[in-house]
Amino acid sequence: EQAYSDGHSDLDARVFMSFGSLEDKVSIDNMHKMKALLLSRAYPNLELDTHLFEDENHGSVSPCAFSRGLRVLYK
Protein backbone atom coordinates (compact mmCIF):
# COMPACT_ATOMS: atom_id res chain seq x y z
CA GLU A 1 0.00 0.00 0.00
CA GLN A 2 2.82 2.39 0.81
CA ALA A 3 4.43 1.82 -2.59
CA TYR A 4 1.11 2.52 -4.32
CA SER A 5 0.49 5.63 -2.26
CA ASP A 6 3.97 6.97 -2.98
CA GLY A 7 3.24 6.98 -6.71
CA HIS A 8 -0.47 7.86 -6.81
CA SER A 9 -2.73 10.59 -5.50
CA ASP A 10 -5.97 8.70 -6.19
CA LEU A 11 -7.38 5.20 -6.00
CA ASP A 12 -10.41 4.85 -8.26
CA ALA A 13 -11.97 1.81 -6.61
CA ARG A 14 -14.84 0.44 -4.57
CA VAL A 15 -13.55 -1.58 -1.63
CA PHE A 16 -15.63 -3.69 0.74
CA MET A 17 -14.07 -5.15 3.88
CA SER A 18 -15.90 -7.07 6.56
CA PHE A 19 -15.34 -9.30 9.54
CA GLY A 20 -17.27 -11.27 12.11
CA SER A 21 -17.41 -10.12 15.71
CA LEU A 22 -16.16 -13.55 16.83
CA GLU A 23 -12.98 -13.45 14.72
CA ASP A 24 -9.61 -13.25 16.43
CA LYS A 25 -8.47 -9.87 17.75
CA VAL A 26 -5.49 -9.68 15.37
CA SER A 27 -7.73 -10.00 12.30
CA ILE A 28 -10.17 -7.40 13.59
CA ASP A 29 -7.35 -4.99 14.51
CA ASN A 30 -5.73 -5.43 11.08
CA MET A 31 -8.98 -4.61 9.30
CA HIS A 32 -9.40 -1.45 11.38
CA LYS A 33 -5.78 -0.46 10.66
CA MET A 34 -6.24 -0.97 6.91
CA LYS A 35 -9.46 1.05 6.94
CA ALA A 36 -7.77 3.89 8.85
CA LEU A 37 -4.79 3.83 6.52
CA LEU A 38 -6.91 3.99 3.38
CA LEU A 39 -9.04 6.80 4.80
CA SER A 40 -5.93 8.74 5.83
CA ARG A 41 -4.84 8.84 2.17
CA ALA A 42 -7.98 10.85 1.30
CA TYR A 43 -8.18 9.33 -2.16
CA PRO A 44 -10.90 11.34 -3.96
CA ASN A 45 -12.38 8.39 -5.85
CA LEU A 46 -12.09 5.65 -3.26
CA GLU A 47 -15.41 4.26 -2.05
CA LEU A 48 -14.69 2.29 1.11
CA ASP A 49 -17.36 0.29 2.92
CA THR A 50 -16.77 -1.84 6.00
CA HIS A 51 -19.17 -3.98 7.98
CA LEU A 52 -19.11 -5.91 11.23
CA PHE A 53 -21.27 -9.04 11.28
CA GLU A 54 -22.35 -9.75 14.85
CA ASP A 55 -22.04 -13.30 16.18
CA GLU A 56 -20.11 -14.55 13.12
CA ASN A 57 -16.63 -16.07 13.03
CA HIS A 58 -14.11 -16.44 10.21
CA GLY A 59 -15.84 -19.55 8.89
CA SER A 60 -19.45 -18.45 9.22
CA VAL A 61 -19.08 -14.88 7.98
CA SER A 62 -18.34 -15.81 4.36
CA PRO A 63 -21.93 -16.10 3.04
CA CYS A 64 -22.94 -12.86 4.76
CA ALA A 65 -19.87 -11.00 3.53
CA PHE A 66 -20.20 -12.32 -0.02
CA SER A 67 -23.85 -11.28 -0.26
CA ARG A 68 -23.35 -7.83 1.23
CA GLY A 69 -20.13 -7.28 -0.69
CA LEU A 70 -21.83 -7.90 -4.02
CA ARG A 71 -24.64 -5.49 -3.13
CA VAL A 72 -22.15 -2.80 -2.07
CA LEU A 73 -19.81 -3.19 -5.02
CA TYR A 74 -22.49 -3.48 -7.71
CA LYS A 75 -25.01 -0.90 -6.52
Residues of the chain falling short of pLDDT 50: none
pLDDT value at residue 75:
82
pLDDT value at residue 43:
98
Q: Cβ of 8: how many Cβ atoms within 10 Å? A: 11
Spatial contact of 16 and 75, defined as CB atoms under 8 Å apart? no
Residue 2 forms part of a structural domain: no
pLDDT value at residue 58:
93
pTM (two decimals)? 0.86
Residue 54 forms part of a structural domain: yes
Spatial contact of 27 and 56, defined as CB atoms under 8 Å apart? no
The total of structural domains in the chain comes to: 1
Q: Which domain does 23 fall in, by range?
A: 10-73
Return d(Cα 25, Cα 42) in angstroms, integer. 26
Can you count the helices (H) and strands (E) in the chain? 3, 2
Residue 5 forms part of a structural domain: no
Return d(Cα 65, Cα 62) in angstroms, integer. 5
